[in-house]
Structure 1
């Protein structure tokens, strides 16, 4: 996930991506994107063979990535990889290789994790991420932290989180 220094993950990519709660800094990460970041993200994504999305994030991604420029290092990977969208309202996703999870998300994710393969990634999807954190279904965090302080917005970790010690595997 893309995070500000103060832990905000809300709307990093576009001004109107997520204005919930009066958030007005959508697109805050874009000025920092460069070729090095794209390569780093592509490297992380190469170790992923399925993605989980909440409905809102899925709809944002599905509106852009199917026709995104193919010179972006991870366009083909993202378009061809299995995608699971958690939703009670979306019934027939039209982005290639997408399926809906409309039942118990915790149980369905546990089942997905038992299947053979590489990693299951979550891109954005703040509400879904909170559910996965609360139920100990997150094995690894891949975070890109930007040199910007937003002062408010949806955060990766809630203010009421209990102490959780993690192991730093790598940093760049």
Structure 2
């Protein structure tokens, strides 16, 4: 049985997922943080794109070790999808070259625990549409952002999804978890 793979992105009402730290402001509360902790608790491996890995590898190792996300992200195994980074990566990271879908398919068949796909946007989109993300959670914040990259842009064909779970937070966010719908 393959390991479960998950992704969780913050999402504006008009579909923007890029740079949520610029627009989620007062709609991310303690309840959202606790939800994220529960979401990430069973995860033992993270698949991450090069851009996000660079940002996080410069930021998170220097943060307070008592920070819950720092406690989780710093020691976890990271699988970095890149064609430009050097072979040897710090921060408990392994370089993934070649086809990321083949790599994740193989990763799902080895080890224990869930696999989180942390980003970037293209990585999450590609792996989800390839059926390699079992649960895609979108926390939709009550904000219209305007410009910014969307997870599903005009390049994505009509794709049917199944709603697996839903919740509303006290700050007005909708937390919606989807899976790909099996063909009829």
Indicate whether the TM-score tops 0.5: yes
CA distance in 1, matches of 2:113, 2:167: 21
Superposed, which structure 2 residues align to 1:16-95 within 5 Å? 27-91=22-86, 92-95=88-91
RMSD (Å) for aligned C-alpha atoms: 1.7
Out of 139, 159, 172, the residue aligned to residue 144 of structure 1 is 139
Counterpart of 1:19 in structure 2 is none
Counterpart of 2:101 in structure 1 is 106
CA distance in 2, matches of 1:149, 1:133: 24
Counterpart of 2:160 in structure 1 is 164
Q: Give the TM-score normalised by the residue count of structure 2.
A: 0.78
CA distance in 2, matches of 1:100, 1:112: 13
**What is the DSSP-based 3-state SS (H/G/I as helix, E as strand, rest coil) of the residue aligned with 2:140?**
strand
The number of residue pairs the alignment matches comes to 158
Contact 1:68-1:75 at 8 Å conserved across structures: yes
1:111-147 CA deviation, whole Å, 9 max, x = no partner?
0011131211112311111221232211101222111
Q: Which sections of structure 2, spanning at least 5 residues, go unmatched?
A: 1-8, 169-184
Q: Give the TM-score normalised by the residue count of structure 1.
A: 0.83
Structure 1 window deviating more from structure 2 (69-78 vs 107-116): it is 69-78
**What is the DSSP-based 3-state SS (H/G/I as helix, E as strand, rest coil) of the residue aligned with 1:2?**
strand
**What is the DSSP-based 3-state SS (H/G/I as helix, E as strand, rest coil) of the residue aligned with 1:74?**
helix
Contact 2:47-2:119 at 8 Å conserved across structures: no
- The answer to whether the aligner puts 1:2 opposite 2:24 as a matched pair is no
Contact 1:45-1:74 at 8 Å conserved across structures: no
Question: How big is the shift at 1:78?
Answer: 1.1
Q: Which sections of structure 1, spanning at least 5 residues, go unmatched?
A: 14-26
1:21-80 CA deviation, whole Å, 9 max, x = no partner?
xxxxxx112443332222211111112111111100111111111122233323211111
Q: Which has more strand, going by share of residues?
A: 2
Contact 1:38-1:73 at 8 Å conserved across structures: no
CA distance in 2, matches of 1:153, 1:78: 26
